[in-house]
Amino acid sequence: MTNESSFLRLQARTQRFTLGSPRGFQVSPDGSRVLFLRSASGEDRRHILWRLDVATGTESRLADPHVLLGGGGPTYTEDLPPEERARRERSREQAGGVVGNATDADVRVAAFALSGTLFVADAVTGETRGLDTAAGVIDPRPDPTGRHVAYVAGGALRVIGVDGTGDRALAEPGGPDQACGVAEFIAAEEMSRSRGYWWSPDGTRLLVAFTDKSPVRRWHIADPANPEATPNVVSYPAAGTDNVEVRLAILSLDRERISRVDVDWHGGDLPYLVTAHWSAGGPPLVALQTRDQRRTEIRSVDPDTGATTLLATETDDVWVDIAPGVPAWTPDGRLVRIGVSQGGYRLVVDDKEVTPPSMQVRSVLDVGADILFTATESDPTQVHVYRVDDAGITRMSTSDGVHGAVRGGDVTVLSSWTLERPGSVTDVLRGDERVAGIESLAVDPGVTPNLRLLTLGERELRAALLFPTGYEPGSGKLPVLLDPYGGPHAQRVMASRNAYLGPQWLADQGFAVLIADGRGTPGRGPAWDREVVRDFAGATLDDQVDALRAAAAEFPDLDLSTVAIRGWSYGGYLAALAVLRRPDVFHAAIAGAPVTDWRLYDTHYTERYLGHPDEEPAVYDRNSLIDDAPKLERPLLIIHGLADDNVVVAHSVRLSAALVAAGRPHALLPLPGVTHMTPQDDEVAENFMLMQVRWLRDALGLAAEVAR
């Protein structure tokens, strides 16, 4: 690459250098094959379903959307149902093609949807075919025996034979506000639950979520750039308002009659369905949560009567965390969960804590004869894969970095991201021995971050400091740009090179770029997480200030007279907050898609940290930005996508209106057609970043420079 603009275009074209990386692994129980998703190159946004033969290491294409939809040509056009577009927005999925699939228990039958059409692939024979179904298919899932595929279309849950026969509705919505077998907005956006039905192990019954959004407020998201377009009407459960009503039922497959048994799960007291699990280890499991999130119950469900039995309760004076992969049964019927004890997130099996409090367990990956999980020990920037059995705990990932894994039988697919190289490395292990690898086709960004990972201040804040390429400390003063997310339950400072490619470009524009993870960020235990409760504006902003000052004490090249901050989403909130409340520290800010009034953000996220707005209005006032408008004395650029249905544009418009009313100059940049994800077009993405740098340099009084 000869200049920075080519880096920006390449970053956009490669979706931040993630295209071409293998993902979505599924391992057959006999360990003979691995299914995975990967695009054909590092610049192709359309993902293909691949098969790896573990014995030979041979990769082959199992389902290529170019062939299935394009007739073998190089291009095709996706026509996604609205429900699928919404699912992808919730998961921040920007790619196309086969972006997800589900399999039977043997990982032989794979089902996926392309442009609303259901396809089934046989992972042994390699045959892939489309099935004649109702239109607008989303979330197809084979039953564990591989005989049927369930799917959702038009709000109804349907089932069809793998051979394409017997398509029929199992459950249909009773009205336009109802749906069967899908995850509601809150579940998908905040609970990491993207599905709404679960097969029984024998493939004869399903546990199904039924949703009714009629109690939820309607918001209208218009496109001012196209006034002839009808506004998009969304059901948005803002803090303190009604949520979608969720109920559960067991449906039995019977050719003559579909039977339904409603599940008694005390939805009034426990309105949130966090997740569900159904395996051969025991009856269906559900995790349920109170509205204030201070109690989570794990209950088993009798599939014959719908009665539930309380198995475990987690309580907390502040909130109970949601962890991926639990609850679950072991094959011999023991309950696996993650609980808080002695200052740690600990793996618990039948009420026995099997990990030490010094190890912060992040997720459960697989439950078999032993349990595979991820955790952090002393360094929160690293995430490792472990297994635990009666003999103790073994760490499977051996290099410093961020690791994940998927397992089937005695074969584990281990993915690793490190500081030593860009992208990921994927190893296929049988036991502890590497037997194969899965190739990454991701583009090499050609960037080596000039990076220092730091531990700063009394709170030992983890931070990353990036200097311009070739810059050595002591070479002269540099303006400082803070580039945080900064909010709870999200982490920016990780031991992975790919985390710093974009920040390095910013550093190469002549800045020292500082990224700091403050209180509430993962990896440091429950007490650390809960220090943000009722105090977004205080705790998270104080940590950015402390990190800045501690970094400047260690590196005098940081010019504290010229400090800017930029961020998106919570980072946008933090950026605007910084110039409004700490103009003595911050001299300019770019706030992208900021939350400005927490009463406008969703129930589950906001009430977890700030409580109910009717009960604690002062907390919402203290943590929101609108009343701070008269305080603005520094340059502020507000950017917001007009199609954002997560942090709606009303946040930025209301702050801008308050600033105008107070007579405070600022800039507001609307992005027509843009959602909560930043622009994807190569040229637009490039100009979007160059514009921000030019604005920052002007706002800070720096001489204009051509981007290097």
CA dihedral 540, 541, 546, 552 (to 10 degrees): 120
Percentage of residues of the chain with pLDDT beyond 90: 91
Please give, one letter per residue, the 3-state secondary structure of 70-124.
Answer: HCCCCCCCCCCCHHHHHHHHHHCCCCEECCCCEECCCCCEEEEEECCEEEEEECC
pTM: 0.95
**Beta strand pairing call for 128-130 and 117-122:** antiparallel
pLDDT at 267: 76
Q: Is residue 527 helix, strand or coil?
A: helix
- pLDDT per residue over 36-67, tens digit each? 999 999 999 999 999 999 999 999 999 999 89
Under the banding of pLDDT at 50, 70 and 90, the label for residue 79 is confident
Distance CA 577, CA 540 (A): 10
Q: Average pLDDT of 94-100?
A: 93
Q: Is residue 207 helix, strand or coil?
A: strand
CATH number for the region 451-699 comes to 3.40.50.1820
Domain extent listing, the chain? 451-699
User: What is the separation, in whole angstroms, between the first and last Cα of the chain?
Assistant: 11
C-alpha distance from residue 423 to each of 442, 446, 447, 451, 572 (Å): 7, 11, 12, 17, 27
Question: How many C-alpha atoms does 372 have within 13 Å on its Cβ side?
Answer: 20
Q: Is the pLDDT of residue 77 over 80?
A: no
In residues, how long is the chain? 708
- pLDDT per residue over 296-337, tens digit each? 999 999 999 999 999 999 999 999 999 999 999 999 999 999
Q: Is the pLDDT of residue 393 over 70?
A: yes
b vs e for 506-515, b when ≥16 Cβ sit within 10 Å of the residue's Cβ?
Answer: bbbbbbbbbb
- pLDDT per residue over 137-168, tens digit each? 999 999 999 999 999 999 999 999 999 999 99
Q: Is the pLDDT of residue 708 over 50?
A: no
Closest CA to 51 of 78, 24, 75, 74: 24
pLDDT at 78: 82
The H or E element that residue 579 is part of is helix 570-581
Distance CA 527, CA 317 (A): 11
Percentage of residues of the chain with pLDDT beyond 70: 97
Q: Is the pLDDT of residue 699 over 70?
A: yes
pLDDT at 255: 66
Closest CA to 614 of 358, 106, 241, 335: 241
Whether the ω angle into residue 215 lies within 30 degrees of 0, i.e. cis, is no
- pLDDT per residue over 455-467, tens digit each? 999 999 999 999 9
- pLDDT per residue over 609-655, tens digit each? 999 999 999 999 999 999 999 999 999 999 999 999 999 999 999 99
Q: Are 69 and 114 in contact (CB under 8 A)?
A: yes
